[in-house]
Amino acid sequence: MQFGIFSVGDVTMDPTTGRTPTEGERIKAIMRIALKAEEVGLDVFATGEHHNPPFVPSSPTTMLGYIAARTERLVLSTATTLITTNDPVKIAEDYAMLQHLADGRVDLMMGRGNTGPVYPWFGQDIRQGIPLAVENYALLHQLWREDVVDWEGRFRTPLQGFTSTPRPLDGVPPFVWHGSIRTPEIAEQAAYYGDGFFANNIFWPKEHFIRLISLYRQRYAHYGHGTPEQAIVGLGGQVFMRKNSQDAIREFRPYFDNAPVYGHGPSLEDFMAETPLTVGSPQQVIDRTLRFREYFGDYQRQLFLMDHAGLPLKTVLEQLDILGEEVVPVLRREFAIGRPAGVPDAPTHASLVAAREAENVKEVNA
C-alpha cells in the first residue's frame, strides 16, 4: 500500500491567534509540508486545484514541479485535477511534461471540484458537469495513447492530425484515479477504463462510500479488467493526533469549529461519530484506519488531510512526524497481514512499464 497526504491549500485564519497567513506564506508552507512527507517516509503528496479564495493551488503542475526537483522518492499527485473545466489537451501536455521532470513519479486524480462558479469562469455550464467529465477524459485518454489524434466532440473545437507534446514518459501515461464524493457516474467511468477510484472518505458516513466503492468494484470486473478484489481503490482520511486523546481534542477543537468547510455546523464529537475524522491518540488513528479494510476491502492508497483549517505549519510538521514515525509503520505491517496474493499493489510508473512490456511479449508469442 501507499500512504501519503493531500492538501486542499486553504488560506484560513488561525482561530487561536487571529492571524491569517499571506498567500505566499501558505504556498511555501505547502512546499515545506510536501518535503517533510518524504522525510518521514510517506509515499505520496497530492495537491488540490482551486481557482477561488480561500484556496491557493491554482497551478498544481507548477507546485509539483518544484517539489519534484527537491525530492527523490515521493510520488506527486493531485487531489483534484478539474477535468470539467481544464482543456484536456493542456492536461495531457502539462502532466506529461511533469512526468518527464519527475522521472515518472507522477499520477493524477480527475474530479469536478466543489465550486460551482468555476464552470462559467472557464466558459462551461455546470449543468453539463457529468457530460464534460466523460467527454474530456475520453479525449485525454486518447491523447496519451495515440500519437496522432483526429477528434470531434461537443465541448471544444475539433482536432485534426494533432500530437500532444511531450509524449508520455516511456510511452506510458501517468496512472489516473477518478475522485468522487457522491457521484456513481464517476465510479462507472473509473471502472470502464480500468483506472483507479478514489473515495474522498471525509464528509460522509462510511455507508455512503461503501456503496460507491462496491459499485466501482463490480463494474471494474464487468468490463473485464479483473476481479472486484483487483480493482484499484484509494481512500481519503482526516486525522489530528497527540499522545493523549484529550489533548488532541482540546487543541483541535477551535480549528474544527472555524474550518471553512464544516465549521459552525455539527459538533466535533458528532462529526467524528458520523465520518472518518479521527482526533485522538496515534493508536486510535491506527485502529480506525485499519477498520477501513473491513468496510471497503483491501485497497491500494491511503491519503490523510493534515494541513487545513488554519493549523500552523509547526503543528502540521509535528503531525507528520507522528504519522511517519508512529502510525504508518504499523499500518504498513498490519495491512500486509492477510492481504490476498491476488490483490495488486498501488500502480507506479515502473509497474505500468513492466505490465506493458509483459503484454507486448504475450502478443509476440501469441
Per-residue model confidence as pLDDT tens digits over 222-281: 999 999 999 999 999 999 999 999 999 999 999 999 987 777 889 999 999 989 999 999
pLDDT at 115 over 80: no
What contacts 207, CB < 8 A, 6 or more positions away?
none
Of these ranges, 192-206, 257-271, 282-296, the one predicted with the greatest mean pLDDT is: 282-296
Dihedral sign, Cα of residue 26, residue 260, residue 256, residue 305: negative
**pLDDT classification of 119: cutoffs 50, 70, 90:** confident
How much of the chain, in percent, has pLDDT values that exceed 70? 100
Report how far residue 35's alpha carbon sits from residue 324's, in angstroms, rounded to the nearest whole number. 13
- Specify the pLDDT at position 363: 79
**pLDDT classification of 365: cutoffs 50, 70, 90:** confident
Contact 202, 134 (CB under 8 A): no
Q: Could you give all domains of the chain from N- to C-terminal order, each with its CATH number?
A: 2-365 (3.20.20.30)
Enter the C-alpha cell of residue 59.
Answer: 497551478
**pLDDT per position as a tens digit, 46-81:** 999 888 888 999 999 999 999 999 999 999 999 999
Closest by CA to 178, choosing from 109, 86, 233, is 109
Contact 256, 271 (CB under 8 A): yes
DSSP for 198-263, written as a single string: EE--SSS-HHHHHHHHHHHHHHHHHTTSS-GGGS-EEE--BEEE-SSHHHHHHHHHHHHHT-TTTT
pLDDT at 211 over 80: yes
Q: Reduced to 3 states, what is the DSSP secondary structure of residue 22?
A: coil
Containing 264, the helix (H) or strand (E) segment is none
